Amino acid sequence: MPTSRPVVALTRTRGADARATADAVEEVLDLLDSPLDALEPGMRVLIKPNMFQLKPGFRSNPDILVALARIAAGRGAKVFVGERTRNLHQVLEGSEIHRYAEVVSFDDRPVRITQIPDATSLRVPIAVPDIVLDCDYFIGVPQLRTHSSVVLTNAMKNLVGLLPGYTTRIVHMAGVEESIVDLNVLRPQQLVVSDVTSVIEGNYPMAGEVRPVGFLAASTSAAAVDTVTAELAGVDPEELDYLRYAHERGLGPAGLADVETRGTPLGDLAFRINRAPSRIVPPREGIHIHAETACASCRRFVAAALSRLHDELMAYPGELTVICGAHETLPPLRGAVVLVGNALYDHREAGVYLEGCPPRAIQIAGFRQAIGTAVNPEERTQFRVPGQRSTAGLPQPAPEELV
């Protein structure tokens, strides 16, 4: 039945095997009135999973990819599965996916310098793999995860992984929330099949744990999928700034009331995801935090970093001052000093400086540097110390660490 609202299809997976997953994929596609029927012979279909890490469970379910690729190939399409690191080849080694699709790393593809129309954060031309721009049909297969800076990551944020290699740093420098929306303007997803067979919860990407859940959510609207899965995970969609920006720019619904859901009732799928810490709690006296003027994302980064480094900060005998947000004049600097976020660029010589809005998880190494804990050469490239002019010659971290 026609509707002016975006539709999100929901179904439980009745088992963890490949057949059960394939059945669930076919069911959500049927509930969406079979969007893959639009494929024609010779079309190029790109499937983008969340599959850049090797840690077990920290990836989209490969059986979903196989099911989608089989359907697309059956309609005569040329199917690609792409992700931003070469880890994709290792994760999918021996998978049935190779019968239906070509597996490609965006790091190995030619790039095209592209200007995003009406971008609000990524306003400079960026390098985008050719296949992202040239494919005829784009399918996202994200894995639902908590996130220590943006609360929850799913369909829309999965597109940060379109950028190859180390260029994801650009997103944090420009501002993550609006950059997520810019990337969805650049390359809208014609179909999303969100993997909620398992989720990553807790203090991800600084830590995180795998939790089995057992359902799929699908839509032709990425923002609608994110709205519904947030609600199902016990997170108010209004907390997700990128969803608000997406609605303001005409990419998605204003809230759950503007979405039609089909299939398994929401009440049968609802669960409460274990979120990353969001309240800044100094672990002891002598840890001084000044973050009153910071944006929500940077405040969450500080909260998550303090939680992740709790034991190290307890063992550190000295004082530590952490500053975040705009400050015309810095507060008293007691002990070691860490400056968090782009707003403090003018004060970057006052301590260890972590740029970004928010910084990336790997940049918590700057806290370790400040308190005298050893950091490896790769981590050393991720922050600035007073008087630093260059980290040229130091090895870069593995791309999967740059989250």
DSSP 79-131: EEEEESSTHHHHHTTT-GGGGT-EEEEGGGS-EEEEPPTT-SS--S-EEEEHH
Instruction: Identify the pLDDT of residue 390.
Output: 76
State the virtual CA torsion across 301, 303, 308, 312 in degrees, nearest 10.
120
Q: Mean pLDDT, to the nearest integer, of 346-374? A: 96
Short-list 144, 274, 152, 151, CA closest to 201 = 274
Indicate the DSSP class of residue 383: S
Task: Evaluate whether 215 touches 61 at the Cβ level (below 8 Å).
Answer: no
- The CA–CA distances, whole Å, from 133 to 56, 64, 110, 386 equal 30, 23, 11, 41
If one counts every other C-beta atom within 10 angstroms of the C-beta of residue 390, the result is: 7
Residue range(s) in the chain whose domain bears CATH number 3.40.50:
7-269
Instruction: Identify the pLDDT of residue 129.
Output: 96
Percentage of residues in the chain with pLDDT exceeding 90? 92
Helix (H, G, I), strand (E, B) or coil at 182: helix
Counting Cα atoms < 13 Å in the Cβ hemisphere of 60 gives: 35
Write out pLDDT tens, residues 194-220. 999 999 999 999 999 999 999 999 999
Phi-psi domain of 353 (left: phi exceeds 0; alpha: psi -120 through 50; beta: other): beta
Instruction: Identify the pLDDT of residue 164.
Output: 83
Write out pLDDT tens, residues 217-263. 999 999 999 999 999 999 999 999 999 999 999 999 999 999 999 99
Please name the fold of domain 7-269. Answer: Rossmann fold (3.40.50)
Short-list 215, 209, 211, CA closest to 197 = 215
Instruction: Identify the pLDDT of residue 174.
Output: 92
Please state the pTM of the whole predicted model: 0.95
